[in-house]
Amino acid sequence: MHITRLIEHMIWADNIHWGMFNSDEKYLQDKQLFEKLFHIHFVQFAFYNILTKTPMERKRPTDFTPQSLQEMAISTGNKLLDFVINLEDTDLEGRFKIPWFRDAVDGFPLSDCLNQVAMHSHYHRAQNATRFRELGGTPQMTDFIWWSFQSQKER
């Protein structure tokens, strides 16, 4: 299922970014970069909870250390992957209400929600790669097609 590949890529790319940012403490001390990392992973966490109908409480970046945020990122990525691996194609048409879209009365298909998780993460990882470069780092390649190429080489 294509959505499984998108979530696998998301996890891989998130791990690449965490490796980059953990390479020097100055990166995770940068407020702009850390807050964007929080946003990426809290949205992943929120969507997972919405899609599994699990209650959650709102969090803020200040609720996390870099280590605890990375632990949440890894845990959420693994849960999302387990979730999508166990889906049937027919499940993708199930509809979900996203709380911040109050006017979307009919909600969104599960397939759109999962695409949003992967695409949203990709969008903000690009912003963090730019910030990483501004702080003196050299971002690593995290494009989907690069991941696909690397995956083929490993087979």
Q: What is the pLDDT of residues 39-63, one digit of tens each?
A: 999 999 999 999 999 998 899 999 9
63-100 confidence digits (pLDDT tens):
999 999 999 999 999 999 999 999 998 898 889 998 88
Q: What pTM was computed for the model?
A: 0.93
**Residue-level pLDDT at 155:** 65
What DSSP string describes 10-44?
HHHHHHHHHHHHTTSHHHHT-HHHHHHHHHHHHHH
